[in-house]
Amino acid sequence: MKKFAWILAACLPLMANAQDDLVKKLENNKSDSAKKKYIFTTIVDLETTPVRNQASSGTCWSYSTNSFLESEMIRMGKQPVQLAQLYSARWVYINKADTYVRLHGGLSWGDGGECHDVINMYAKYGAMPQSVYTGLHYGTEKNKFGELQAILKGMLDAVVANHNGTLSTAWKQAFQAVLDTYLGAVPDHFEYDGKTYTPQSFAKERVGINPKDYVELSSFTDAPYYKKTMLMVPDNWTFQKVYNVKLPDVTNIIDNALKHGYTVAWAADVSEKSFSWKNGVAYVPEKEYEDMDDSEKKQMFDGPKPEKTITPEVRQEAYDNYATTDDHGMHIVGLAKDQNGREYYKVKNSWGEKNDYKGYLYVSKAYVKYKTTAFLLHKNAIPADIREKLDI
């Protein structure tokens, strides 16, 4: 269980074609017979909006969590609106830049972020529809952030290195001017469905969620259970804490959410050989990949295989030794079982529809226990007994 050397936190920021490269790498984990050998039966399949493509940008956290908010609109009986992923991302970059400079450059910089960033930006700046704010103002039809992020980081490093003892009054304006040029300036007002909105009024009147209703959780053995603990990953630039629950609670909470109509925003490691984007399947092989012979490697996705037992200690060790890193954000929207009765989560991705399940994957519960870095959902989706322990 290794990491690609160029994976940087969530969704590989900074490299112009990093996301495309990751998809190509993961496409190598394939077997032509995989879809024929897995037979999935639906248990829960919640309604969501169409699959999108983040393209060459590390904005999975924004795509997945905005997709989650779109499903929340459906759950609440509203007509869903495709939300502007890059509106959320733009405000994250502005706020992250301030933290980067305040810490004298001592912060991971790049496209990456966390699920809670979308909720925080929504609470502070509202939301916009994708049709009004596409973020595409630099000559392409898809996101391509390599040049943008190189310029942004260069500016910030220049500010940190050349302030001569006092920061200028111009750097924030210059930083935002670059974002205006590449992503587009944010309008004070805009028209949508024949009505005039501000980003704040659109969030309140059209989307209608309460940011205070959403909580983020994870599971670690080195912190007290049912208390908040720091999410120690590079892209947690706000140093936000998450609720720490016991390992069985992770899937129990997700199961409870899905069975009561709630979807889940999910952050996880996806660089394992047993995560196959092409085949749309992720699981935890009983045997380590390095210990498999050529035949076993070739047949990894040739139908369901025995899985490794995931304990809290196994999970923590992978997190501690960098075998689990904060690679990617996705959206859990359903539950299914294979022909042997093993349960998998149906997961909506943001890499377009070019895989066997048109943009979705089936991820085993063992994989979710093993490789989750954090997950976010409505507080009422948590079972009452666990919510009581968390004092929510």
Q: What is the 3-state secondary structure (H, E, C) of the chain?
A: CCCCCCCCCCCCCCCCCHHHHHHHHHHCCCCCCHHHHCCCEEEEECCCCCCCECCECCCHHHHHHHHHHHHHHHHCCCCCCCECHHHHHHHHHHHHHHHHHHCCCCCCCCCCCCHHHHHHHHHHHCCCECCCCCCCCCCCCCCECHHHHHHHHHHHHHHHHCCCCCCCCCHHHHHHHHHHHHHCCCCCCEEECCEEECHHHHHHHHHCCCHHHEEEEECCCCCCCCCEEECCCCCCCCCCEEEECCHHHHHHHHHHHHHCCCCEEEEECCCCCCEECCCCEECCECCCHHHCCHHHHHCCCCCCCCECCCCHHHHHHHHHCCCCCCCEEEEEEEEEECCCCCEEEEEECCECECCCCCCEEEEEHHHHHHHEEEEEEEHHHCCHHHHHHHCC
Number of domains in the chain: 1
**Calpha distance 156→189 (Å, rounded):** 30
Is residue 359 domain-resident?
yes
Q: What is the pLDDT of residues 317-348, one digit of tens each?
A: 999 999 999 999 999 999 999 999 999 999 99
Residue 7 domain flag:
no
Please indicate, yes or no, if residue 296 is contained in any of the structural domains. Answer: yes
In a domain, 9, yes or no: no
- In a domain, residue 214? The reply is yes
Which residues, 6+ apart, have CB-to-CB distance to 22 below 8 Å?
4, 7, 11, 12, 270, 271
In whole angstroms, what is the distance from residue 176 CA to residue 193 CA?
29
The bridge status of strand 264-268 relative to strand 372-378 is antiparallel
pLDDT band per the 50, 70, 90 thresholds, residue 61: very high
Percent residues over pLDDT 70 in the chain: 92
User: Which one is predicted more confidently, 28 or 362?
Assistant: 362
Look at residue 7 in the predicted model and tell me its pLDDT: 36
- In-domain check, residue 8: no
Kindly indicate the confidence band of residue 15, based on its pLDDT and cuts at 50, 70 and 90.
Answer: very low
pLDDT tens digits along 20-59: 555 555 555 554 557 779 999 999 999 999 999 999 999 9
Question: Does residue 6 lie within any of the structural domains?
Answer: no
| Spatial distance between the Cα atoms of 373 and 7, rounded to a whole number of angstroms | 15
Report the chain's mean pLDDT, rounded to a whole number: 92
Q: Is the pLDDT of residue 205 over 80?
A: yes
User: Percentage of the chain surpassing pLDDT 90?
Assistant: 90
What is the reported pLDDT for 30? 52
Q: Which domain holds residue 281?
A: 18-390
Cα angle vertex 237, ends 214, 283, to 5°? 65
pLDDT score for 164: 78
- Taking the C-alpha atoms of residue 376 and residue 218, their distance in angstroms, rounded to an integer, is 9
* pLDDT one-digit tens code per residue, 146-188: 999 999 999 999 999 987 789 999 999 999 999 999 999 999 9
Q: Quick one: CA dihedral 47, 50, 55, 58, positive or negative?
A: negative
- DSSP lists the bridge partners of residue 53 as 351
CATH number of the CATH domain containing 374: 3.90.70.10
> Who's near 141: CB < 8 A, 6+ residues apart?
none
Residue 189 neighbours by CB distance under 10 Å? 10
For residue range 120-155, what is the model confidence (pLDDT) as tens digits? 999 999 999 999 999 999 999 999 999 999 999 999
Give the C-alpha separation, 195 to 30, whole Å: 48
Q: Does 392 or 1 have the greater pLDDT score?
A: 392
**pLDDT (0 to 100) of residue 165:** 84
**Residue 3: inside a domain, yes or no?**
no
Indicate the pTM of the whole model.
0.93
